[in-house]
């Protein structure tokens, strides 16, 4: 199984990042982590952080073993370039290009393992689908006929049953005792039309 991780808009030129990326391509995950930890290039901590993120994805999301992973693919692509200007002699200006990179990483297993978590997840979804189909098939109400009268039993609401308004509960419950919005409007009108003293 392959696990992906991406670092986008990294403020380093792709040419500098590729020097570090070429060191760890095809290596085991643990070997790559050790190599990057002692490398002095500027891109080393960025690539190390990306590899640690991919390892965490593999362990947490897919229950893969850390010692069974290796770096299958790692690529550095150009991101957008920021344009800046530098003053030079005789009132001239020369452009500065601040380049960015998109780094993409793909981890894979050395020895392919069966994925129990995904299989269980698939079976669970199938079971839930079967249960939901059974629920849809079962009728909502069963009608029991006794002579001319029919009595319905089930989840359908009867005509004489009281309907509870859920919106009236909770945060605005105090509005029920005040008789809705009328009292608030009255206070607002008093506030608008009261005579201002001192004028």
Query: Is 128 inside any structural domain?
Result: no
Question: CATH no. for residue 109?
Answer: 3.90.470.10
Q: What is the pLDDT of residue 3?
A: 94
Q: What is the pLDDT of residue 174?
A: 52
Query: Is 177 inside any structural domain?
Result: no
Nearest Cα to Cα of residue 4 among 65, 64, 73: 73
Q: What is the pLDDT of residue 148?
A: 47
Q: What is the pLDDT of residue 184?
A: 56
Query: Is 87 inside any structural domain?
Result: yes
Query: Is 199 inside any structural domain?
Result: no
Q: What is the pLDDT of residue 66?
A: 93
Six-digit token string for 192: 């608008």
Strand, coil or helix: what is 114? coil
Q: What is the pLDDT of residue 113?
A: 81
Largest CA distance in the chain: 108
Cβ burial of 58 (10 Å; 0-12, 13-18, 19+) is buried
Q: Which domain holds residue 107?
A: 3-113
Q: pLDDT in tens for each of the 199 residues of the chain?
A: 899 999 999 999 999 999 999 999 999 999 999 999 999 999 999 999 999 999 999 999 999 999 999 999 999 999 999 999 999 999 999 999 999 999 999 999 999 887 545 444 455 555 556 555 555 555 554 444 454 455 445 545 555 566 655 555 555 555 555 555 555 556 666 776 666 655 4
Query: Is 131 inside any structural domain?
Result: no
Strand, coil or helix: what is 55? helix
Domain tally for the chain? 1
The position carrying tokens 């605005």 is 172
Query: Is 145 inside any structural domain?
Result: no
Q: What is the pLDDT of residue 24?
A: 95
Query: Is 103 inside any structural domain?
Result: yes
Helices (H) and strands (E) in the chain, counts: 6, 7
Q: What is the pLDDT of residue 193?
A: 67
Query: Is 126 inside any structural domain?
Result: no
Q: What is the pLDDT of residue 1?
A: 87
Q: What is the pLDDT of residue 165?
A: 55
């Amino acid at each position: 199984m392959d696990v992906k991780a991406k670092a986008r808009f990294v403020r380093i030129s792709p040419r500098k990042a590729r020097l570090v990326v070429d060191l760890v391509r095809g290596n085991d995950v643990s070997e790559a982590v050790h190599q990057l930890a002692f490398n002095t290039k500027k891109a080393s901590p960025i690539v190390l952080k990306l590899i640690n993120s991919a390892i965490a994805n593999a362990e947490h999301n897919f229950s893969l073993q850390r010692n069974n992973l290796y770096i299958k693919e790692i690529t550095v692509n150009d991101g957008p370039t920021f344009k800046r200007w530098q003053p030079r002699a005789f009132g001239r200006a020369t452009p500065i290009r601040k380049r960015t990179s998109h780094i993409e990483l793909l981890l894979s297993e050395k020895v392919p393992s069966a994925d129990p978590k995904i299989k269980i997840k698939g079976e669970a979804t199938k079971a839930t689908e079967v249960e939901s189909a059974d629920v849809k098939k079962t009728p909502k109400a069963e009608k029991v006929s006794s002579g001319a009268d029919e009595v319905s039993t089930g989840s359908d609401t009867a005509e004489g049953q009281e309907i509870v308004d859920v919106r009236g509960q909770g945060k605005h419950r105090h509005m029920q005792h005040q008789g809705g919005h009328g009292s608030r409007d009255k206070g607002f009108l008093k506030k608008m039309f009261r005579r201002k003293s001192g004028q």
